[in-house]
Amino acid sequence: MKILNLNEGSFPINFSIKLKEIDVPNIGKLQKDLLVDAEIQKISKDLYRCIGQFKAYFKDVCQNCLKDTRVEVSNNINVTIKDLTEMHNDSSEQDQTHYQDLEYFDLHRFIEEELAIIYPDIVKCSENCLEGDISQDKEKNLPFKKIRDLIE
């Protein structure tokens, strides 16, 4: 666990982290290290910004065919960081704001939260998974076709 005190120190804070495991529920299993390269900048007294990128590969299950599939998660980070005490008083309308205690800022928790936001909701092994099989099933699934043909 990497804890920073954002209220003290010099900025920007540059960091490169390789995480071998993560604790995010309802996502696949991490296959390779989660790589994070980022920088925390101080904008004002209680306002910070983190910019950077992360990349990871996961093993997950396709939600259509239930085969194991590889999921690549790669994204840029551009998040405002504010103190936890400002969460309910904040009226800034920013959609990418991370709230955490600035004196005990947990980098792993921050990274895990960003990963949970970015991870795909629907995992498919390919864009057209089972699309060909669905059209065949529609033709097969006509139980009264013979009776209808006899009536006509």
Largest CA-CA distance found in the chain, in angstroms, rounded: 85
Q: How do residues 75-100 score in pLDDT, each as one tens digit?
A: 999 999 999 888 877 666 666 888 99
Q: How do residues 8-36 score in pLDDT, each as one tens digit?
A: 888 999 999 999 988 898 899 999 899 99
pTM of the model: 0.74
23, two tokens: 């604790």
